[in-house]
Amino acid sequence: MTETKDQTTNKNFAKAGKRSVKAVEEKTALIAKKASTDATKPTKSTPKKVHTKLEKRSKKYRAVAELVDKLKIYELTEATALIKKLNPSKFNATIELHVALNVDPKHADQNIRDNLVLPFGNGKILKVAVFSDDETTAKQAGADFYGLDTIISMIEKNNLDFEILITTPNYMPRLAKFAKILGPKGLMPNPKSGTVTTDLSRAINEVKKGKIEYRVDSYGIIHLPLAKVDFPKNHIEENLLAVMTSIKNNKPQSVKANYIKSVYLTTTMGPALKLNFTNF
């Protein structure tokens, strides 16, 4: 039986009504879901907790950090006494010195670099290799590795188990081909660091007694290991004064004033102390 026009119209309205109801139900469900999600989000009255850098540190670090006044500039004697208490690690940590200079290392005369023998060493025993045919002198002076063939073999095998490489001027050409290996590791001998010399015995003895080399980084800052936490207070002070004297003696003539910008003392994993360097 054929439907009338009115019957067809009524069916269409019924279908449209069902779709409208379904749409309303879906929209209502979405609104309810959004309201539930918003309820779990932090509001202005319950702000999300923000952790400071100190809160992220270990308990031991936070404990020693409480001993430091961040707004204070410490005098030398006070700083060297306090620094011995600022070691949050279990091992005998290194005391580091960081000196910011008002220099631009891009200029040759301001690329500060030098070496000195610390009065009491820095507590680190360095392994010394000597590239020379004078094996007797190297051995008697306390070198850990020596001999031409021995050193070449170590380099070729990438067995660089030493921190300092010393040689004489006549043997520098033979080391030139290993520059790409030694250079990036800071092991290439250099006259400025005293590792190219005719006096092997003296060079080896100085390294063993605590000779260090320092150089400004690209930001004009010198970083160097100064002592160990277990050093007597006066030993730390004398080492620090020796370094500062050397740095001041290397002041470029092109830098007229404010050569030293800041000096900090810190342990390897501990907080830093800002020092008053005007009396150094």
Ramachandran category for residue 230: left, alpha or beta (phi over 0 → left; psi -120 to 50 → alpha): alpha
Which stretches of 66-168 are DSSP H helices?
A: 76-83, 135-141, 148-156
Q: Which of 209, 241, 260 is the last residue of a domain?
A: 209
pLDDT value at 52 more than 70: no
Q: What pLDDT band is residue 14 in, cutting at 50, 70 and 90?
A: low
What's the mean pLDDT when you consider all of the chain?
87
Q: Are 224 and 124 in contact (CB under 8 A)?
A: no
**60 pLDDT exceeds 90?**
no
Is residue 185 domain-shared with residue 142, that is, in the same domain? yes
Rounded mean pLDDT of 268-274? Answer: 93
Asked whether residue 196 falls in the same domain as residue 242, the answer is no
| Structural domain range at position 13 | 7-44
Residue 123 token pair = 């507590």
Q: Regarding predicted confidence, which is higher, 23 or 263?
A: 263
**Same domain, yes or no: 115 and 244:** yes
Counted domains in the chain: 3
pLDDT digits (tens, 9 = 90+) for 158-214: 999 999 999 999 999 999 999 999 999 989 999 988 999 999 999 999 999 999 999
Average confidence (pLDDT) over 219-223: 96
- Paired residues of 196 in beta bridges: 167
Global confidence as pTM: 0.73
Q: pLDDT at residue 46 above 70? A: no
123: phi > 0 → left, psi -120 to 50 → alpha, else beta; which?
A: left
Contacts of 229 (CB under 8 A, 6+ apart): 83, 84, 87, 92, 93, 94, 95, 267
Q: Is residue 49 part of a domain?
A: no
pLDDT confidence of 47, banded at 50, 70, 90?
Answer: low
The label of the residue with tokens 């102390």 reads 273
Alpha-carbon distance of 31 to 12, in angstroms, equals 29
Q: How confident is the model at residue 96, as a pLDDT?
A: 97
Q: Convert 159-170 to b/e letters by CB count within 10 Å (16 or more is b).
A: ebebbbbbbbee
pLDDT of residue 280: 80
Give a yes or no: residue 2 inside a domain. no
Q: Is residue 52 part of a domain?
A: no
Alpha-carbon gap, residue 267 to 82, rounded angstroms: 11
Residue for token pair 């030493």: 162
Q: How confident is the model at residue 38 (pLDDT cuts 50, 70, 90)?
A: low
pLDDT in tens, 117-169: 999 999 988 999 999 999 999 999 999 999 999 999 999 999 999 999 999 99
Task: Answer yes or no: do 128 and 111 share one domain.
Answer: no
